């Protein structure tokens, strides 16, 4: 039966209809269409992508892998699995691959949440946690942040008999905050065994040697820990979609059962493998980010704007009329990320780009603030 203006959304369960769609960074092509701009004149600092692109080794691996795309990928990722296991001192059976680490977050939710369960995440934490929780009809518990950071004692206090998952982003997106290592360890020691902790470390490569996560080693102590890593950020493979989790083999087994057999394509597997062999590219990305972070934060200070000190490759800054400033930036070909949907309507998040991109962002922002202070 065909009606004039069909709306079949009522066929979906209430908890699906209640999902607020994910708002990503505006694609360059879309802004070009909307504003009649040349794509080459647009600077996108909105999705925490690597301004250096990808490792040259990954580029070669991609070219080679393209020759074989008529074949299905290795659904178990055998070759990549052994490289990841070697590099991070894991057992192959501890590893789960995802179509981006967002897939990992969803696999954890699908394997362990039912409508009778609760999942905990912090206010101002990554938007995908409530999304995957709600998609399962489970109850999401948002714990208020403390100075824009995770409040670990409050998260512990929110645990009930129904809690199955706690999502923690470290560093967190969009606030860039990092949890002190000793605090995180003490927290894990207090989480009861019926609760799994998903530790989302998408930005670990941007941490200093001293701050870098030791969570892979902690897996020996905590059977209920799931560590999630991404190839989208420092490795620059955002468009290929690949990430992985490391956890107890029995937890990995459950996540693999709900995983689509070919969720990670062959080109992504080859690129990830080559990327892990290019420490130099990661080191260059880290160094560029350190310099760019300094450039942008100094620039924000000069404009009299306050920001949340960040450990990642982006920084969120406060600005009067954030929505209006965002529109003005767009009009001038600069894409940043408004984060009102993260409960931060007075902030914009800017990713660290190339020196010239950062400079363009700062000069356009200065102009905007001058014309409507």
Ligand X SMILES: *Cc1c(COP(=O)(O)O)cnc(C)c1O
Binding site for ligand X (CB under 6 A): 48, 100-102, 126, 169, 173, 200, 202, 230, 232-233, 238, 243
Distance CA 147, CA 161 (A): 28
| Nearest approach, Cβ of residue 281 and ligand X (Å) | 18
Cβ closest to ligand X, residue 272 vs residue 330:
272
| Nearest approach, Cβ of residue 310 and ligand X (Å) | 12
Residue with tokens 């039912």: 114
Distance CA 188, CA 302 (A): 40
| Nearest approach, Cβ of residue 113 and ligand X (Å) | 18
Q: Which residues of 23-40 are buried (b: 16+ CB within 10 A; e: fewer)?
A: eebbebeebbeeeebeee
| Nearest approach, Cβ of residue 143 and ligand X (Å) | 16
H-state helical runs in the chain: 14-17, 28-35, 56-66, 78-88, 101-112, 128-135, 152-157, 181-190, 215-218, 249-258, 266-276, 279-302, 322-331, 355-371
Look up residue 108 and give its two tokens.
């954890």
Report the residue closest to ligand X, judged by CB: 100
10 Å CB burial of residue 83 (0-12, 13-18, 19+) is: middle
| Nearest approach, Cβ of residue 365 and ligand X (Å) | 23
Cβ closest to ligand X, residue 232 vs residue 269:
232
Cβ closest to ligand X, residue 235 vs residue 362:
235
Cβ closest to ligand X, residue 88 vs residue 126:
126
| Nearest approach, Cβ of residue 243 and ligand X (Å) | 4
Q: Is the Cβ–Cβ distance between 130 and 173 less than 8 Å?
A: no
| Nearest approach, Cβ of residue 202 and ligand X (Å) | 4
Q: Is the Cβ–Cβ distance between 195 and 164 less than 8 Å?
A: yes
Cβ closest to ligand X, residue 272 vs residue 328:
272
Strand, coil or helix: 40:
helix
């Amino acid at each position: 039966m065909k009606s004039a203006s069909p709306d079949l959304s009522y066929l979906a369960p209430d908890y699906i209809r209640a999902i607020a769609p994910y708002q990503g960074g505006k694609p360059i092509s879309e802004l070009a269409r909307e504003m009649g701009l040349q794509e080459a004149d647009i600077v996108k600092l909105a999705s925490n992508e690597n301004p250096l692109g990808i490792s040259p080794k990954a580029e070669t691996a991609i070219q080679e892998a393209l020759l074989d795309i008529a074949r299905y990928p290795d659904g178990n990722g055998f070759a990549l699995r052994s490289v990841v296991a070697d590099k991070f001192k894991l057992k192959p059976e501890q590893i789960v691959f995802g179509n981006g680490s967002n897939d990992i977050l969803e696999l954890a939710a699908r394997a362990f949440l039912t409508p009778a369960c609760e999942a905990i995440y912090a206010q101002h934490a990554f938007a995908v946690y409530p999304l995957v929780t709600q998609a399962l009809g489970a109850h999401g518990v948002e714990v208020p942040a403390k100075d824009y950071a995770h409040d670990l004692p409050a998260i512990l206090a929110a645990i009930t008999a129904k809690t199955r998952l706690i999502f923690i982003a470290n560093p967190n997106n969009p606030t860039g905050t990092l949890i002190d290592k000793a605090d995180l360890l003490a927290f894990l020691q207090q989480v009861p065994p019926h609760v799994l902790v998903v530790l989302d470390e998408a930005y670990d490569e941007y941490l200093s040697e001293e701050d870098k996560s030791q969570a892979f080693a902690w897996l020996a102590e905590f059977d209920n820990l799931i560590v999630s890593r991404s190839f989208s950020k420092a490795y620059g493979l955002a468009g290929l979609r690949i990430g992985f989790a490391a956890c107890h083999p029995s937890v990995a087994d459950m996540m693999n059962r709900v995983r689509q057999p070919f969720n990670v394509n062959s080109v992504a597997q080859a690129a990830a493998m080559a990327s892990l062999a290019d420490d130099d590219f990661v080191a260059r990305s880290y160094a560029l980010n350190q310099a760019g972070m300094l450039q942008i934060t100094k620039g924000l200070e000069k404009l009299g704007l306050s920001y949340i000190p960040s450990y990642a490759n982006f920084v969120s800054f406060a600005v009067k009329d954030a929505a209006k400033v965002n529109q003005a930036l767009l009009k001038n070909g600069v894409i940043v990320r408004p984060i009102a949907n993260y409960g931060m309507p007075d902030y914009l998040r800017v990713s660290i780009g190339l020196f010239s991109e950062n400079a363009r962002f700062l000069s356009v922002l200065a102009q905007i603030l001058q014309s409507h202070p």
